[in-house]
Amino acid sequence: MNSETLARVTFVLDKSTAEDLAYLSHRMGQSRSALVREVLGPPVSGMAAMLRQVPDNPTAADVRQLALSGLDAIEELAGPEMEKLRRLAHE
């Protein structure tokens, strides 16, 4: 493990999630850690960035802006992947 860029973390998953992760890891030829980094990295980073912009005692306007930022983030993450799936489905 490259301790300069990676950190060891321990957490608990539902048994079914752990089984699905093991299946995906085997099927895709990637370690479970690599899959978790790939899947969780961008959304966790985006969520943290959004929440850093919200004050500790948010106003209704702050909460509305957070919701709008969340919608933008979902579109940014899902949009390109949805297009890939649409192209694949129509081949």
Q: How many residues does the chain have?
A: 91
* Average pLDDT of span 80-89: 87
| Residue 7, amino acid | A
Consecutive H or E run containing 62: helix 60-89
pLDDT tens-digit map of 14-73: 999 999 999 999 999 999 999 999 999 988 988 899 899 999 999 999 999 999 988 888
Q: What is the pLDDT of residue 79?
A: 82
- Are the CB atoms for 68 and 76 separated by under 8 Å? no
Of 44, 50, 43, 49, nearest to 76 by C-alpha is 43
Question: What's the pTM value of the predicted model, to 2 decimals?
Answer: 0.69
Please give the CATH number for the structural domain made up of 1-41: 1.10.1220
Contact 29, 22 (CB under 8 A): no
Q: In this structure, are residues 52 and 18 in contact, taking their beta carbons and an 8 Å threshold?
A: no
Could you give the angle at which helices 32-52 and 60-89 cross, rounded to 10 degrees? 140
Domain ranges in the chain are 1-41, 53-91
Contact 32, 19 (CB under 8 A): no
Which pLDDT score is estimated for 64? 94
